[in-house]
Structure 1
């Protein structure tokens, strides 16, 4: 299947699959989308001090030592790289697990411009990609990465993660990744009061999440998208 590198509206790159008319990230801005969906409404949501007295505050207090994040669709490594940057700003250690069934090629990695766009050392981005699969790597004092090469339906973790970035290809092209069965695995993988965020706002996705126990809310979406979803596992 043909794949090509394109530049999105905010100047950052992504991988485009013409046969599917699908991108790894939004054509309206790859970095903008990642920050909006996964950082603002995921990572920052958990640590936002304005949630005084909320379940998120309790999660914040419990997670000051380490925060565990699962990414569904490691892909280009953009979400991992941005989270690496944020871990340094927050000064909170993050254990990051990225699951990917079809790793991107070395040739594609060299053409992605995220390190330049985020003003990060290129060596860090390379380390994220070239670190050995299935092994834990200490990328910095605040960021540890483990990449797992497997399909999403093979995930069997139980109550391991505080936050899930659900960034699979869209339901239009891969509906099998957005089923109750998959979201049940996500629900089970989260700790109590854990959070899942995704760029999707499809009704079928929301209902699948709710059916397995998530408390789901619609939020304003990133540029080019009206809404997104955030689910929480009630404690």
Structure 2
């Protein structure tokens, strides 16, 4: 039986990737595209920028490059707003070309056509090197784990690992503490997960949580701010 990654279609028509081996998909089945925009762009990057206009470059750290959707959407945001973004992402198990080359994210909105080539390019970039992709977007992809990576100071954290039930080690307090310690004062931490133990740990790590609605199919998500 083939246990490799498989492309699936979510409710908004966008693709995601399903891993039979762990019975988990990379995104919500209610809509991969909508989930990424809601959690990471709207309530993450844009929320931070609304509080910090004129302060850049914006340093984004992502746990889980995965399909590359969050990185690509952030690149588009940076270009459209002409705000420089330094993007640091980790992924121990990159998707093979036969998977990422078929993902349909770039076909969902005709207004994004100028940015279509960048999606494939983000996947094709060398790992473990910082690379300027556009005038406003610089990325460093590292093929490593959260435990092993050396973190830079971050303004926005996209915590997009698989669920705590599937990857409990990534969500333990030690890994969260490592992430929070690397956040700048005023930085935002966002994730689709709304588990009680996650919120408790983040509060114990001195993040201030606010109540924000979840993406389609979820009542809530988690956002925390580092106040000092």
With the length of structure 1 as denominator, give the TM-score of the two structures. Answer: 0.90
Answering whether residue 201 of structure 2 is matched by residue 208 of structure 1, we say yes
Answering whether residue 149 of structure 2 is matched by residue 149 of structure 1, we say no
> Between Structure 1 and Structure 2, how many residues are aligned?
223
**In the alignment, which residue of structure 2 is the partner of 1:124?**
118
Q: Is the 8 A contact 2:57 2:85 kept in 1?
A: yes
Specify which of 212, 215, 223 is matched with residue 219 of structure 1: 212
Answering whether residue 80 of structure 2 is matched by residue 89 of structure 1, we say yes
**In the alignment, which residue of structure 2 is the partner of 1:4?**
6
How much does 1:60 deviate? 3.2
Specify which of 160, 169, 172 is matched with residue 167 of structure 1: 160
Q: Which runs of 5+ in 1 are unaligned?
A: 49-55
Answering whether residue 102 of structure 2 is matched by residue 108 of structure 1, we say no
The worse-fitting range, judged by mean Cα deviation, of 131-140 and 118-127 is 118-127
How much does 1:234 deviate? 1.1
After superposition, what is the alpha-carbon deviation per residue over 1:96-126, rounded to whole angstroms, capped at 9, x for unaligned? 1111111111111111111222434442111
Q: Is the 8 A contact 2:39 2:191 kept in 1?
A: yes
How far apart, CA to CA, are the structure 2 residues paired with 1:141 and 1:102? 28
Answering whether residue 70 of structure 2 is matched by residue 79 of structure 1, we say yes
With the length of structure 2 as denominator, give the TM-score of the two structures. Answer: 0.93
**Secondary structure class of the residue paired with 1:60:** coil
Q: Is the 8 A contact 1:180 1:211 kept in 2?
A: no
Matches within 5 A, 1:46-57: 46-48=48-50, 56=51
After superposition, what is the alpha-carbon deviation per residue over 1:201-226, rounded to whole angstroms, capped at 9, x for unaligned? 00011111112221122311000011
How far apart, CA to CA, are the structure 2 residues paired with 1:108 and 1:43? 27
